[in-house]
Amino acid sequence: MIPTESDSTARETRARAYVRDLRAFYRLLITAALVLALTFTINLVTSPGRWWFLWVGFGFSVAIAFSGLNLLLHGRVLGAAWEERKVREYLERDPR
């Protein structure tokens, strides 16, 4: 089977979406590192006995975990394909 232009266009679209998600993930990692460094410094100066910056780290950890899972699964869980499948199911089920 010879790949057609529409196949290559679809592959390129998927590749661009993946790279866009990868860039967003890297930006999240950089942002988390900078914010954690800043909050650690503020925490160290203002109240060294209480490590409240760990809550910020926990929040970023959750965000990074979900973003990483989304990146690894390429949107297969609750992605565009799932959405299209659910729309078709609903249209088949609803007689109106």
What is the tens place of the pLDDT at every residue in 32-86? 999 999 999 999 999 989 999 999 999 999 999 999 998 888 766 667 777 888 8
Distance CA 52, CA 11 (A): 45
CB atoms within 10 A of CB 40: 15
Confidence of residue 29 (pLDDT cuts 50, 70, 90): very high
Q: Give the tokens for residue 16.
A: 């661009």
**pLDDT at position 9 over 70:** yes
pLDDT confidence tier of residue 6, bands split at 50, 70 and 90: confident
> Residue 80: CB partners within 8 Å, gap ≥ 6?
none
Phi-psi region for residue 75, left (φ > 0), alpha (ψ -120 to 50) or beta?
left
Question: Please, what is the angle between helix 5-46 and helix 53-73, to 10°?
Answer: 170
From residue 17, alpha-carbon distances to 9, 22, 74, 80, 94 in Å are 12, 9, 9, 12, 32
For residue 1, is pLDDT > 60? no
Residue 5: pLDDT over 70? no
Domain boundaries, the chain: 5-93
